Structure formats: C-alpha cells, structure tokens
Amino acid sequence: MRVFGVDPGLTRCGFGVVDGGPGRAVKIVAVDVVRTSVDDELAIRLMHLADEVEVWLDRYRPEVIAIERVFSQHNVRTAMATAQAGGVVALAAARRGLPVMFHTPSEVKAAVTGSGRADKAQVTMMVTKLLGLVEAPKPADAADALALAICHIWRAPMQSRMAQAQAKAAEMARTHKLKLAQAAKNGGRTK
C-alpha cells in the first residue's frame, strides 16, 4: 500500500509518501514541506498548495491519503488555516477517487511511538528509526507527514476488520429485528 501522509498547514504543509503493508516494513518514497508566503492572499496560498498536491498525486500515485484531523487548538486562526489546507488536499484526492482517511494527532503518536502523548521529538526519532533514515526529517512537519502515512498503513487493516465486524453486527441486528416483528405479527410464534 502506498500512502500519502499530509500534515496540513498553510505556512508549512508536510508531505510524505510511504510504502508498506501488513507484516512488511515501511519504506520512505518521498518527503518534503510545501511553504506558502504569508504575504500572499489566502486564495493564492490555497491554490499554490493545491497545485503542489496535484504534482505529488501525479508523481507518486498513492492509493490512499492520510491527513491529520484538525483537533482543538487554542489558536482559532491556526485551526482555520490547518482545516483549509486539509480541505484542499481532501478535495484533490476526491477528484481522483482516492480514499481520504483522517487521523488525530494522538492516534498518530500512539501508532508510531506507542504513546498518544509523545512529543514532536519522540515522533521524529521513531519515524527516523522506523524508516531507517540516516538523518531526521526536518522540519517537524515533514516527520509528522511520514508518521501519518505510517499510522495509516498500520491502522488500516484493523480499521477494515472493525468496519466489517460493525457491518456484520448491523446485519445481524436487522435480521433479529425482522424476526421479532414477524413473531409479534404471528402472535408470538416464530418460523
């Protein structure tokens, strides 16, 4: 599976592409940080980011996009910029029919370090180790994008099994409900 991880941001947006799968080691394909100028208008910055996303989608052909879910941030302005950047990425993926998965920062930290409360330095250190890199990806946005991709690769099989189990449980509940309705209709007798 090839995953394009995105740590959304308007000033700095981390991009990372990782290959991997169940029982296989993860391997880095590409990493970078896209920057936009704070002097440009918002629409221009979003367009620049969208153009870069399209280049990466064309160049690396990911199977899924993993984006950090905007979590409550104290700075509303930062949260808005992060959400706008994530929306641009999700839109580009949707136009190509690519699935988009959102992961919270604590899910990513837990997947990569074993602790949902890990700090940025711990995440960067583990990403470096897991991918066998000689140097740590810099800035932290780059390491975070790679961590998102790794998180998705490792969590996707479990999420798929959970979705299947939920679908099966829902089907069983519908069947049971129909049987109960039929029994009530037949005066308490089931067939």
Active site residues: 7, 68, 141
Burial class (CB in 10 A: 0-12, 13-18, 19+), 81: buried
d(CA 68, CA 142): 12
141 annotated among ligand-binding-site residues: yes
In the beta sheet, which residues pair with residue 67?
6, 102
Backbone angles phi, psi at 53, to 5 degrees: -60, -45
Residue 164: C-alpha distances to residues 10, 103, 160, 161 (Å): 36, 19, 6, 5
CB 106 within 8 A of CB 117: yes
Angle between helices 42-60 and 76-95 (to 10 degrees): 40
Q: Using the structure block, give the residue that is written with the tokens 């999420």.
A: 159
What separation, in Å, do the N-terminal and C-terminal C-alpha atoms of the chain show?
47
State the binding site: 7, 68, 141
State the binding site for Mg(2+): 7, 68, 141
